Structure 1
Amino acid sequence: MKNNIKLNPLVESAMFAALAVIVIIATTYLPAFYFIGIIVLPLPFAFVYIKHNFKYAALALATAILISIPFGDLFTAISLGLTYGIVGIVMVYCFKNDESVLNTIIFMAVVVFLSTILVYKISVLITGKDVLQVTAKEISNIIQKYKGVYESHGASSSKINTLLDENNMVYIMKMIMPGTTFVFSIVSTYFSYRFSTSIFKKFNYT
């Protein structure tokens, strides 16, 4: 009887981990699904935590990440799984400690914000490539391609050359990155919170 009691949480944890794997893979390979994916992804881990405990939620998270790795990009699987898995766990932790809706969303957003910045820093260290530099180069190439069109519409060469300065673009991106990342964190976690709580209510977990 004791073994049966222990088996049930393990089976459910495995099921939710499998669901998370599907979401991670879909989010990785379907760009159009990305925003939906990050809204849904915290839910499986939150469900395990709210129904059982932190240990099973952490187990589901580790399992989901390990299974996701062979199906996609190692770095993406780990960053998505860890970030939004922790978001789900933090959300339920706040529920269990009677935190307000505002505080819960803020705590969730802080996790996303810090994880995003950390992932960016780690990606630069691991790959040796700055994603902002790569993006700036692509934008510069596009502007260069249509330089003649801009000039024909009255844009001065000096202004165009300023736009073509990749270092200037990277500087601007780095200036706005914290703000845009924070706004994204708030928006994504707000929708994730609303989605998760609506599901919890259907199962009488709130």
Structure 2
Amino acid sequence: MYLEDEIDNRNNTRKIVEAGLFAALTIVISFFVFYVPVIGMVALAVLPIPFAILYIRHDFKLAVSSLVVSIILVAVTMGIQIAVSVGSIYGPTGLALGYCFKNRVKMSRSVFLLAIVYIVGMALNVSFYLLFVDRNFIVNTIKSSIDLVRESFEQSIRITGTTIDSTQYEQLKQMIEAITPEMFLYLLPGGLVLYGFGVGFINFTVTRSILKRLRYEVIEITPFERVYIDNRIGALIIIITCLGIILDRTNLDIGKYIFSSAVVVLQFTLLLIGAAVIYYFAKNKFNMNKTSAVIITVALILPPMNTMALYIGFADLIFDFRKVDPNRLFKGRNKQ
């Protein structure tokens, strides 16, 4: 009995030490994320990982405890604003990562869950800024982004000099001048959704790579040629787009937000699926090597050929050419 109690005490002590070490590691990573621009972009994908590892190694409670300690220490050392970011975005993302890997949730569902957690966390973080820091935070950020785009355009023109003709210059100039704060606001919800999925995918792959190096059993990554979207989700996106069109035609402001964002999400989704289908057929039906298949795929998803990829993606949503969607509309024999 005494021996068992001693073992339990040692295990509890080890857990507390690990939680403290990971909390300290979180402070170090947070410093790079928020104060070192270039390195911070890399550290951004690493910040949730300590909480994920604690969840996997031990349990949810210990990971949450370490998160609470991290939030307090970050608030004391770097300020309440950064602590809110850690507590609303990166901590919950780490807990979601830990849940997904510990319970072996497949990649598509993991990325979806991570995207939802990130989007909700970002909304909470922005709400904090609007309420307690700067009421014009979104407007100022959008204006800064537009100014940055215009400055980049002007610098590009100065660099290229006379290599661009006057017609192309005028077209580019009109496109840049057409960018307004209202346009940014209309596209913001859709952009946030896509960004959330992008961040979720990056966090998943980076965490998987680190866990694999630590010799943990990890979830397999779906090959790009088998990437698909469930036709039910595709139908939902199309329905939301149509709803946005109807509301926009009735001159409701919310219709512009729904329509603009839904179109962005729909186009990106169809383009991604179209690229996967093109790569699949280039590699498996035309027996191209990976390099050639990638070159063909990239060429067909870039303008002016990207319209073809959109149509291919839409057709695959209906017919599932690769037979990878278990919920496809026209079920035949599964592809072996």
TM over 0.5: yes
Match of 1:101 among 103, 107, 111: 107
State the shift of 1:140 in Å: 6.4
> What does residue 40 of structure 2 align with?
34
Post-superposition offset of 1:131: 1.9
Whether contact under 8 Å (1:39, 1:189) holds in the other structure is: no
Query: Which residue number in structure 1 is paired with residue 216 of structure 2?
Result: 205
Q: Deviations 1:44-94 (Å, cap 9, x if unpaired)? A: 001111001111100111111111112223112221343111111112212
Task: Give the stretch that moved more between structures: 77-86 or 23-32.
Answer: 77-86
Runs (4+) of structure 1 exceeding 3 A deviation are 135-143
1:42/1:84 contact within 8 Å kept? yes
Paired residues of 1:106 and 1:186 also in contact (CA < 8 A):
yes
Alignment of 1:96-175 (within 5 A): 96-138=102-144, 139=146, 169-175=180-186
CA distance in 2, matches of 1:4, 1:141: 55
Residues 23 and 37, structure 1, Cα contact 8 Å, conserved in 2: yes
- Aligned-partner Cα distance in 1 for 2:136–2:43: 25
- TM-score, L = length of structure 1: 0.81
Gaps of 5+ in 1: 147-152
Moved more, 49-58 or 112-121: 112-121
Q: Matched residues, percent identical? A: 25
Alpha-carbon separation, structure 1, partners of 2:192 and 2:108: 18
C-alpha RMSD of the superposition: 2.8
Superposition deviation, residue 134 in structure 1: 1.5
TM-score of the two chains, using structure 2 as the length reference: 0.51
1:130-169 deviation digits (Å, cap 9, x = unpaired) = 22321355556997xx9xxxxxx997xxx8xxx59xxx93
What is aligned with 1:194?
205
CA contact under 8 A between 2:119 and 2:192: conserved in structure 1? yes
- Looking at structure 1, the residues matched to 14 and 142 of structure 2 have their Cα atoms a distance apart, in angstroms, of 51
Q: Which is richer in helix?
A: 1
Answer whether contact 2:26 2:50 (CA < 8 A) is retained: yes
Give CA deviations for 1:174-194 in whole Å, capped at 9, x if unaligned: 211112222222222212111
Runs of 5+ unmatched residues, structure 2: 1-5, 155-165, 218-336
Amino acid aligned to 1:30: V
The 2-side partners of 1:11 and 1:178 are apart by 41
